[in-house]
Structure 1
């Protein structure tokens, strides 16, 4: 009787790092004198790159744009990246892992980076809400 050997699933974080970072506040110091309620736009995207067999680089791109009625208050871009070893996952599990699990690991790092950059720019602290990457993934499947 032959039994199929079940391989153990492997998920390992190899590295987490900032790939690219940018903060622009082109209208300082004049913008500090304006007392309007700004609006914020928030964009998020991911790039998935297979580096070699079972090794993937995930780049979580987060952009925050804050404007008042006429001026850009600040623009903050953070590309938070990670290298992950992912082995013995079924194809659907791998897709979910790359699109949901890895970004969930990276987002707190990106959120912290953005919060620090904004405060270093002398603006009030910016606390980004958690993101439901499962919801985003499921919408993309439909």
Structure 2
């Protein structure tokens, strides 16, 4: 076997591209909301989605919706979808799912986090830094829930 043939058979994982897929910020009560002095309440939703786009190429999207309220009033709503295109060749099939559910979101999340922080500042609010996410724990929890058989009564 030639050296080139051996290299072609080695497992390979590459980042092809990282990009903002969708981003928006709404400040429904501006400018009055800037006069509010009530403490902020935050609701952060985070989801991931993975799709095959070609042989050995996958798009992984990390989506976040952040809602900030002052009392009952929505101060702002931020929605960000940050995505990446990843190449995975020569990787065993059983390793693809955790790669797409854990490794890829871990790569994308810091960019999404920075986008949310930047949006809050540009919107006239204090910077919001999203807490780190343990994508491995989320993946393991989801797998455990899928493994538990549904009971009917």
1:113 aligns to what SS in structure 2?
Answer: helix
2:129 aligns to what SS in structure 1?
Answer: coil
1:29 and 1:49 mapped to 2: Cα distance?
A: 40
1:120 and 1:89 mapped to 2: Cα distance?
A: 42
Gaps of 5+ in 1: none
Please state if 1:50 is matched with 2:24. no
1:62 aligns to what SS in structure 2?
Answer: strand
2:10 aligns to what SS in structure 1?
Answer: coil
1:69-94 Cα shifts (integer Å, max 9, x gaps): 22111010110000000112222211
If each structure's helix is expressed as a fraction of its own residues, which one has the higher value?
Answer: 2
The answer for the alignment partner of 1:60 in structure 2 is 62
Moved over 6 A (4+): none
TM-score (norm 2): 0.87
1:129 and 1:73 mapped to 2: Cα distance?
A: 20
TM-score (norm 1): 0.93
Deviation at 1:96, TM superposition (A): 0.6
Deviation at 1:20, TM superposition (A): 0.3
Among 130, 134, 137, the residue aligned to 1:135 = 137
